[in-house]
């Protein structure tokens, strides 16, 4: 079984390799693929040196699975070329997410929808994944009417250059290379991705549209404000969810505790609640600050944290690949 990791030299690509190793993902041959400027570079992985190859060579090798983390334009151009030779592409970019002919998959929620005909599978946005995974058991029990979410997102979501900007600012460098339109260290930017004509950012619209698609329910009302903060380790979200039915807090906690991939950290009297510093390098989604919204009926407040490079990207993609193998879909 040939496995290709496209974008292997980037932040998410490196994380994919870590997750593959931790999960003991079975493959016979690993192809590390990147842009032309990285072709020929040597990467040591699991005690063996691998030479980075280009996209055309990777297509010619006809891998069974290719996990993409190389940006939307690369995915739009190359994912169909891999699919044409029979490769199943799991794509981390936003290129295919809202394509009605492509599945948008969080394995714990909707992997069962996948078939052998699905040659390009979309990985949802990092901030969407952690929210929907935590909401899934509650949606089944109570029904969801409306979601209001505000995010507090790590600079790692932008990439290595953004981390470099923040660390250069923290070190007091005079003219650090700027990725964001403003300083990020000791600051908060209410702006992730490009502003749209409706005043929302592209990131906010991703959360709105992807949530409905993953849940297969356009009746759910979603509004989002996405914010970049000077942290590493993971994204945090304040989620206010209005259910169709009333709920019991003890039952909510039990449902979440029984959900694979979710860890409840909710003991405020002992200062126990999810934080990105503790979610770093973890595959799970952490949930806490569970409390009733006392301003309106049937509404819950919750705080959700996950490592955006893990469950928000690499881990989710690897889990999709594992599902494909386990169910003989490749």
Which residues are annotated as part of the binding site for NADP(+)?
A: 9-12, 37-38, 308
Q: Any idea which residue has 């989002």 for tokens?
A: 224
Tokens linked to 252:
């909510």
* Catalytic annotation present for 235: yes
Catalytic residue among 23, 50, 126, 140: 126
CB atoms within 10 A of CB 85: 13
Determine the Cα–Cα distance for residues 152 and 274; give it in Å rounded to an integer: 13
Binding-site entries: 9-12, 37-38, 97, 153, 228, 308
Tokens linked to 48:
């063996």
Binding-site entries for phosphate: 97
* Catalytic annotation present for 191: no
Per residue, the 3-state secondary structure of 12-51, as one string, reads HHHHHHHHHHHCCCCCCEEEEECCHHHCCCEEEECCEEEE
Cβ distance 66 to 88 under 8 Å?
Answer: yes
Binding-site entries for substrate: 153, 228
User: DSSP per residue over 178-234, as a string?
Assistant: PSSSS--TT--BS--SPBPTTS-BHHHHHHHHHHHHHHT-TTSEEEEE--B-S--S-
Determine the Cα–Cα distance for residues 279 and 270; give it in Å rounded to an integer: 18
Catalytic residue among 23, 140, 191, 235: 235
Residues with catalytic annotation?
Answer: 126, 235
């Amino acid at each position: 079984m040939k496995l290709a990791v496209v974008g292997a030299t980037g932040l998410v690509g490196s994380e994919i390799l870590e997750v593959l190793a931790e999960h003991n993902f079975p493959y016979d041959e690993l192809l590390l693929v990147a842009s032309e400027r990285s072709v020929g570079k040597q990467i040591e992985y699991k005690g063996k040196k691998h030479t980075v190859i280009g996209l055309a060579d990777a297509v010619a090798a006809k891998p069974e699975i290719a996990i993409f983390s190389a940006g939307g334009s690369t995915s739009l151009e190359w994912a169909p070329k891999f699919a044409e030779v029979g490769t199943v592409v799991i794509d981390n970019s936003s290129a295919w997410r809202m394509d009605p002919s492509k599945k948008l998959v969080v394995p714990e929620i909707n992997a069962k929808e996948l078939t052998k005909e699905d040659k390009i599978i979309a990985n949802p946005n990092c901030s969407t994944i952690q929210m929907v995974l935590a909401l899934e058991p509650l949606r089944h029990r109570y029904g969801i009417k409306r979601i209001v979410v505000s995010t507090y997102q790590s600079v790692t979501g932008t990439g290595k250059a953004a981390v470099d900007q923040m660390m250069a600012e923290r070190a007091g460098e005079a003219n650090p290379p700027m990725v964001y339109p403003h300083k990020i260290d000791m600051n908060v930017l209410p702006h992730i991705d490009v502003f749209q004509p409706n005043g929302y950012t592209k990131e906010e619209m991703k959360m709105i549209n992807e949530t409905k698609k993953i849940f297969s329910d356009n009746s759910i009302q979603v509004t989002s404000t996405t914010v970049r903060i000077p942290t590493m380790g993971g994204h945090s979200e304040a989620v206010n969810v209005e259910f169709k039915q009333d709920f019991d807090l003890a039952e909510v906690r039990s449902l979440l505790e029984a959900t694979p991939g979710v860890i409840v950290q909710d003991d405020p009297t002992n200062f126990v609640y999810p934080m990105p510093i503790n979610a770093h390098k973890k595959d799970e989604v952490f949930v806490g600050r569970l409390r009733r919204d006392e301003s309106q009926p049937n509404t819950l407040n919750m705080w959700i944290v996950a490592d955006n490079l893990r469950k928000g990207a690499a881990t989710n993609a690897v889990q999709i690949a594992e599902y494909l193998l386990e169910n003989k879909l490749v």
